[in-house]
Amino acid sequence: MPLLELVDVTAFYGPVQVLDGVSISVPEGGAVGILGANGAGKTTTLRAISGTVRAGGTIRYRDRSIRGLKPERVASLGIAHVPEGRGTLGNLTVRENLMVGAYLRKDHRQVATDVEYLLDLFPNLRERIRSNASALSGGEQQMLAVSRAFMAKPRLLILDEPSLGLAPSTARNVYDAIGRLRRESGIAMLVVEQNANLAFSVVDSVTVLETGRSVLSGTTAELRGDDDIRRAYLGG
Amino acid sequence: MNPFGTFIQLLVDGLAQGSIYGALALAIVLVNQATGLVNFAQGGMAVLGSYIGLTIGNLLIPGVGSTLGVVLGIVAAVIASLALGGVVERFVMRRFERAEEDTKVVATIGLLTLITGLVGLIWGFNPTPYPFFFGGSESLRIGDVSISVWSIVTFTTIVALMVVLQILFRGTKFGLGMRAVADNAPSAALAGIRVGGLRMAGWGLAAALGTVAAILLASKSQLTPNNFDGILVYALAAVVIGGLDSPIGAVVAALGITILESLAAAYIPWIGHDLKVVVPFVLVFVVLIIRPQGLFGRRAVVRV
Ligand SMILES: Nc1ncnc2c1ncn2[C@@H]1O[C@H](COP(=O)(O)OP(=O)(O)OP(=O)(O)O)[C@@H](O)[C@H]1O
Ligand SMILES: [Mg+2]
């Protein structure tokens, strides 16, 4: 039984339907990528999971339906969503942002340990620990957003284009850290990305979306090997 | 009275009057922390709360002004305001959740009109005396300077509330959650923070705080439905000067404005009592130019 399973999911902004049959399955401890062009519905798919857009179809997490739950409820079940545009809290300090991530946790000692772990992983954040998040660079904000989500000790981390707006080398650093988080913690991940090469560095399998529909899925090895698919969907 | 005595008297009176402005400013800061907006109905809600307290106090212990009745009335007023604030957030402001900031602010102005009208309808527009349980007109004399018991009680109460709020905001999980919600509610929800619940709590606490201020004010002057309309101007000025997210800033600014205003009226001949009301506006103007986030605040005023 997968950790998260989407079957024929639909989603609507007001009356406008933007998803029409998205199916994805994330195994316990696995990492899945969602690829697709601008406007394909990647962000909306993540929103359907975290309860921030009206959705239809089947969304099951740990064998129960989570469709229609409020975002705070979904978060409390162990799903941490790093939204498109990062969602860092600009007027709060870096440390406060991390503590917001740990809002639902009761294991205070472990929280402190996790903060240290993340500050070792992202030394930039350690230097800026008392700065307001709004004063950070784009790359640092993305690191903070990922760290904040990790502070929730989730079972499933969902990341919406962590490379957005970053210089290639910074994006690379962010993905290296995400890969390390995955190896060291074993949490499952669902990662939206436009840059297939970056996504492939952390995920085991990929689903491709086209105009609100899943059109293709497979393991990274299969997709990498297939030249036609590479050309059509993965930018060469 | 010697000139120095006059000066000290001005300071003392300013501190007490400024405390009232400061209390309303605190309530505004609290709502702003919870919802990111400025509640223009804060004063109106406070007045409603104190009328409710007066009525309940008189019902419980008949005979206007018995000490026990007044105390019970205050307790009742605080509880009623907590509920009132929560209800207003849940059933009025929640409807504007997705609206533009400007729309929300206009909604609070509408709320002010509604509440003032309602209070007038129920209790009338004539001033009602509000009994003061510390003995209203007593005062201490220190040399030339006289300090009323009312001033001491008011000032102490407001400073205590300010300290409690500052600790709440900066030192508790509840405060962290409130500040996260104020900063970016959808993102706070993704961290599992119950946005709706925190907002209701913030509105409730703010309403209770405002009601305490309204009771203190009414026990010095009297209670009327528009008691707080003029005071709102000072409270808003204090919030802008002190910083929308700083309880200490709001109170210090309120005290500062009041004292500067009365000093200006007394010592700058061309200002006098007619023009002293421009003092807070000038201060707001200057602060917005040199430090838009307020003297104590961390967050810039984007638009007002
Ligand atoms: N808030 C919204 N209201 C109405 N329509 C929206 C909204 N957000 C997105 N859409 C529309 O829904 C469709 C899917 O958008 P979505 O943001 O999910 O795409 P995406 O794959 O994440 O694209 P990108 O790569 O540009 O981030 C698009 O046609 C978009 O215009
Ligand atoms: Mg997107």
- Quick: pLDDT tens for B109-127: 999 999 999 999 999 988 8
Q: Which residue has the higher pLDDT, B180 or B150?
A: B180
Most ligand 1 atoms within 8 A of CB, residue of A13, A84, A194, A210 to mutate: A13
Rounded to the nearest angstrom, the distance between the alpha carbon of A156 and the centre of ligand 2 is 19
- Side-by-side strand order, sheet with A188-192: A79-82, A156-160, A188-192, A31-36, A205-210, A213-219
**Which ligand is nearest the CA of A19, by number?**
1
How crowded is the C-beta side of A232, counted as CA atoms within 13 Å?
10
DSSP-assigned states of every residue in chain A: --SEEEEEEEEEETTEEEEEEEEEEE-TT-EEEEEE-TTSSHHHHHHHHHTSSEEEEEEEETTEE-TT--HHHHHHTTEEEE-TT----TTSBHHHHHHHHTTT---HHHHHHHHHHHHHH-HHHHHTTTSBGGGS-HHHHHHHHHHHHHHT--SEEEEE-TTTT--HHHHHHHHHHHHHHHHHH--EEEEE-S-HHHHHTT-SEEEEEETTEEEEEEEHHHHHH-HHHHHHHS--
Residues of A in contact with B182 (CB under 8 A): 91
The C-alpha atoms of residue B1 and residue B12 are separated, in whole angstroms, by: 15
Most ligand 1 atoms within 8 A of CB, residue of A22, A35, A43 to mutate: A43
Block means of pLDDT (10 residues each) for chain A, 236 residues, are 95 95 95 94 97 96 95 97 95 96 95 97 96 95 97 97 93 95 95 90 93 91 74 61
Q: What is the pLDDT of residue B89?
A: 93
The C-alpha atoms of residue B249 and residue B246 are separated, in whole angstroms, by: 5
Q: What is the pLDDT of residue B218?
A: 86
Domain ranges of chain B: 3-228
pTM recorded for the entire structure: 0.85
Residue in chain A lying closest to B173 (CA): A103
Which residues have CB under 6 Å of ligand 1?
A 13, 16, 18, 36, 38-44, 84, 194
Instruction: Using the atom order of ligand 1, give the atom closest to the CA of residue A45.
Output: 18
DSSP letter, residue B126: S
Rounded to the nearest angstrom, the distance between the alpha carbon of A17 and the centre of ligand 1 is 11
The C-alpha atoms of residue B26 and residue B266 are separated, in whole angstroms, by: 28
Interface check B152 vs A, CB under 8 A: no
Q: Are B93 and B204 in contact (CB under 8 A)?
A: no
Domain ranges of chain A: 4-233
Interface check A130 vs B, CB under 8 A: no
Rounded to the nearest angstrom, the distance between the alpha carbon of A55 and the centre of ligand 1 is 14
**Weakest mean pLDDT among A37-46, A142-151, B99-108, B132-141:** B132-141
Q: What is the pLDDT of residue B132?
A: 64
Q: Are A206 and A47 in contact (CB under 8 A)?
A: no
Q: Smallest CA–CA separation between B194 and chain A, in Å? A: 6
Instruction: Using the atom order of ligand 1, give the atom closest to the CA of residue A53.
Output: 1
Instruction: Using the atom order of ligand 1, give the atom closest to the CA of residue A44.
Output: 18
Residue in chain B lying closest to A151 (CA): B191
Q: What is the pLDDT of residue B222?
A: 82
Residues of B in contact with A91 (CB under 8 A): 179, 182-183, 245, 298-299
Choosing among B29, B190, B299, which should be mutated to test the A contact, i.e. which has the most A CBs within 10 A?
B190
| Confidence check: pLDDT of B29 > 70 | yes
pLDDT per residue over B170-210, tens digit each? Answer: 899 999 999 999 889 999 999 999 999 999 999 999 999 99
Per-chain mean pLDDT for chain B:
85
Query: Which residues 159-218 of B have a C-beta within 8 angstroms of A?
Result: 173, 176-177, 179-180, 182-184, 186-195
Q: What is the pLDDT of residue B209?
A: 92
| Chain A with chain B: Cβ pairs closer than 8 A | 70
| Confidence check: pLDDT of B46 > 80 | yes
Partner residue facing B192 (CB), from A76, A89, A132: A76
| Confidence check: pLDDT of B303 > 50 | no
Answer whether B189 sits within 8 Å of A70, measured CB to CB.
yes
Q: Smallest CA–CA separation between B44 and chain A, in Å? A: 30
Rounded to the nearest angstrom, the distance between the alpha carbon of A153 and the centre of ligand 1 is 29
Q: Are A161 and A178 in contact (CB under 8 A)?
A: no
Q: Are A4 and A26 in contact (CB under 8 A)?
A: yes
Q: Smallest CA–CA separation between A224 and chain B, in Å? A: 33
Q: What is the pLDDT of residue B135?
A: 53
Helix orientation angle between B173-183 and B3-35, rounded to the nearest 10 degrees: 70
Q: Are A152 and A76 in contact (CB under 8 A)?
A: no
Rounded to the nearest angstrom, the distance between the alpha carbon of A207 and the centre of ligand 2 is 15
The C-alpha atoms of residue B141 and residue A71 are separated, in whole angstroms, by: 60
Q: What is the pLDDT of residue B304?
A: 38
Answer whether B176 sits within 8 Å of A103, measured CB to CB.
yes
Q: How many CB atoms lie within 10 A of CB A69?
A: 19
Rounded to the nearest angstrom, the distance between the alpha carbon of B47 and the centre of ligand 1 is 47
Residues of B in contact with A50 (CB under 8 A): 190
Q: Are B199 and B34 in contact (CB under 8 A)?
A: yes
The C-alpha atoms of residue B235 and residue B158 are separated, in whole angstroms, by: 13
Superfamily of domain A4-233, CATH level 4: P-loop containing nucleotide triphosphate hydrolases (3.40.50.300)
